[in-house]
Amino acid sequence: MLTVILQISLGIMAVSTLLYVIRVIKGPSVPDRVIALDAIGINLIAITALVSILLRTSVFLDIILLLGILSFIGTIAFSKFLEKGEVIENDRDR
């Protein structure tokens, strides 16, 4: 029963990811894509969690944490890039 539910959930997550990917490809603006990418990251967390339940293993829990951090950092970096034109500012410029 659990397996079926997990598989259905995974299917839903996959469809959702696919739709985000369409958004990433189509755009139309860069922020759209960045947000889509961020959402894909969150979806990936969910998929990883579901997969690790399905595979009955705990070794992927690190990845969930890492994905959370990275997707946050990535989105911040993109946002900063879009806002200021660069990711890491030079101290001397201030």
Partner 1 sequence: MQLLHFAILSPFLFAFFIPFFAKYAKKIHTGWFVLVLPILLFIYFIRMLSITMAGETVRSVLEWIPSLGINFTVYIDGLGLLFALLITGIGALVVLYSIFYLSKEKEQLGPFYVYLLMFMGAMLGVVLVDNVMVLYMFWELTSLSSFLLIGYWYKREKSRYGATKSLLITVFGGLCMLGGFILLYIITDSFSIREMINQVHLIASHDFFIPAMILILLGAFTKSAQFPFYIWLPDAMEAPTPVSAYLHSATMVKAGIYVIARFSPVFAFSSEWFWIVSLTGIITMVWGSFHAVKQTDLKAILAFSTVSQLGMVVSMLGAGAAALHYDNTEYYTVATMAAIFHLINHATFKGSLFMAAGIIDHETGTRDIRRLGGLMAIMPITFTISLIGTFSMAGLPPFNGFLSKEMFFTSMLRVTHVDLFNVQTWGVLFPVLAWIGSVFTFIYSMKLLFQTFRGTYQPDKLEKKAHEAPIGMLISPVILVAFAVSLFFFPNILSYSVIEPAVSSIYPTLLDSHEKFHVHISQWHGFTAEVFMTLGIIVIGTAGYLTLSKWKGIYQLFSEKLTLNRLYDKLTIGMEKGSYQVTKRYMTGFLRDYLLYVFAAFIILMGSALVFKGGFSFSTEGTAKIGVYEIILSVVMISATAATVFAKSRLTAIISLGVVGYTLALFFVIFRAPDLALTQLVIETISVALFLLCFYHLPKLRWKKKTRTFRLNNFIISLGVGIIVTLLGIASSSQRTKDSIASFFTKHSHDLGGGDNVVNVILVDFRGFDTMFEITVLTIAALGIYGMIKTKVNEEGKSVEPREDK
Q: Does 53 bind partner 1 (CB under 8 A)?
A: no
Q: Which is nearer to partner 1, 1 or 91 (CB)?
A: 91
Q: How far is the CB of 2 from partner 1 (least distance, A)?
A: 17
Minimum distance, C-beta of residue 44 to partner 1, in the bound complex (Å) = 6
> How many chain residues are in contact with partner 1, going by CB under 8 A?
43
Measured CA to CA, the distance from residue 55 to residue 40 in angstroms comes to: 22
Question: Which value, to the nearest 10 degrees, does the dihedral of the CA atoms of residues 73, 77, 80, 86 take?
Answer: 150
